[in-house]
Amino acid sequence: MRSDARIAWILTRGSDRREWWRIALTAAGALLATGLALAAVTVSAVSGQTSIPFGNGLLNRPGERTGVVATLLLLLVPVFGFLGQCARIGAVHRDRRLAGLRLAGASPRQVRRIAALESAPACLVGAVGGLAVFAAVLADSGRTPAPAVWPACVAVVLGVPAVAALVSAFALRRVIASPLGLVRRIRPEHGRRTTLALLLPGIAVAAAALLVQTGESGSGATPFALLVISLVLLASVGALWAAGTSAAFLGRRLTAGARSPAVLIAAGRLLDDPWAAARTHSALLLVTVVGTGFVGVREVMLADLRARGGHTPVDLGFYTTGLDLTGAAVLMALAIGLCGLAVGAAESLATRRRGLAAQAAAGVPHAVLARTLLLETALPLAPAMLLAGIGGTAVHLAYATAVTPGAFPSMLPLLVPVGVYAACLLAAATSLPLLRRVARPAELRFT
């Protein structure tokens, strides 16, 4: 392990200018993860009833603070997913060096471990930067945490690179580097994955039906909250399944009857790996379900509070601030997911650069390849985004029915899937400059 870490450090120091953007993205992701973890540690260290002049009293009581800490920790999931995307594109981009390690006697498992450890130095730099920003914010606010918090902060700074390395190793578990310079991914059988994708929605449907029955016979908000969680799980897993199955279906149909060259190439790519879309879009589909439901729940909750009356501006400010912070968390998760999509699109181009170079040498225009890249994102994402929007709308309708029975709910949440879909296409379009670089016949000299 020590020798692998040393090799990873040497390879990181020897990175050329083309790889520094990957290192910068990894450091930025580690900085964000460190900031979120440090904020969670600081908020959780506050005990008892207190008065904090921030968020209209949202951090004054232990119950609300627990919700804030949970939100901060949940935001770490898309951040570490983004770091995994960076590790994948880095491993494929450095295929010649990985092949050199194989020629020197390294096993495929050791090569993946070295590629994962290459992200540790950049993550450590980002973690230290996150600690510096965190300390500067605390100094500017004039508040100093308890002395017992600082050891936890140091543990966070050391733990983020370790967790990032583990996430990178998990992301690279199916990457194989051959001594001849070929980097590929081994894929499991699709049948097992499809069965799992169908089994989870079935379990969620059964749990939702049971919770509905419990909610009718019992009291309290816990059954309804668990029902909402089940609906979100059902919609998210169903959207992932729709992304994979629709990609396979569209790949078969369009390959047989497509007349446009861009559609034909995109259909071949979807047919080759139909579940790549589900892997890349998983976080965005979950954010779409949550965001659609949140927009509807926010509107219904604020309308109900105003209709009841008797609330002072301070009370309304408390609820509004809590909802606004939740919305900011959803937008942050969306931004992280879009960054992951952009990195995934760039990783896909780097993986296929020899095939793209061969197509360019054969006379395929750059405009056709650009449309192909966008179609690879647009085609499987459309049905999955539709199902995610339906799931979020179901959460909205369930809450609206429980709060104001008989009222006609707003259709504003339906705009959320449309906006997320457009943002996904824009994120995929950010890799078009890289397409012009990799789709050059000169790349064929490395084959």
Same domain, 358 and 384: yes
Q: Which domain holds residue 34?
A: 1-186
The Cβ of residue 328 has, within 10 Å, a number of other Cβ atoms equal to: 11
d(CA 324, CA 298): 9
**Total domains in the fold of the chain:** 2
What is the structure's pLDDT at 314? 59
- The confidence score (pLDDT) of residue 340 equals 82
Q: In whole angstroms, what is the distance from residue 275 CA to residue 281 CA? A: 10
Last residue of a domain, one of 186, 220, 245: 186
| Residue segments in the chain with a per-residue pLDDT below the cut of 70 | 1, 11-19, 48-63, 88-99, 102, 142-143, 171-228, 309-315, 406-407, 443-447
In sign, the C-alpha dihedral spanning 425, 430, 432, 438 is negative
- Do 170 and 197 lie in one domain? The reply is no
**Residue 2 one-letter amino acid:** R
What span, in angstroms and rounded, lies between the C-alpha atoms of 66 and 59?
Answer: 9
Does one domain contain both 49 and 147? yes
Task: Return the pLDDT at 217.
Answer: 43
Task: Specify which residues 175 forms β-bridges with.
Answer: 185
End-of-domain residue from the set 186, 204, 219: 186
Residue 178 shares a structural domain with residue 283:
no
Phi first, then psi, for residue 138 (nearest 5°) are -65, -40
pLDDT at 424: 92
222 and 73 within one domain: no
Determine the pLDDT at residue 362. 84
Same domain, 48 and 156: yes
DSSP state of 412: G
Q: How many CA atoms lie within 13 A of 115 on its CB side?
A: 39
Per-residue confidence (pLDDT) for residue 121, from 0 to 100: 81
Query: Do 143 and 29 sit in the same domain of this protein?
Result: yes
CA angle at 357 for the pair 354 and 360, rounded to the nearest 5° = 155
CA angle 57, 63, 64 (to 5 degrees): 40
Residue 180 and residue 213 in one domain? no
The answer on 153 and 106 residing in a single domain is yes
Q: Are residues 197 and 173 in the same domain?
A: no
Instruction: Tell me the pLDDT tens digit for each residue of 283-322.
Output: 888 889 888 988 888 888 888 877 776 666 656 777 777 7
Query: What are residue 177's DSSP bridge partners?
Result: 183
Task: Tell me the CA distances in angstroms from 214 to 228, 266, 280, one per residue in order.
Answer: 13, 47, 36
User: Shortest CA distance to 87 belongs to which of 126, 50, 113?
Assistant: 113
Q: Are residues 49 and 144 in the same domain?
A: yes
Domain match, 181 and 195 both: no
Domain boundary among 134, 166, 186: 186
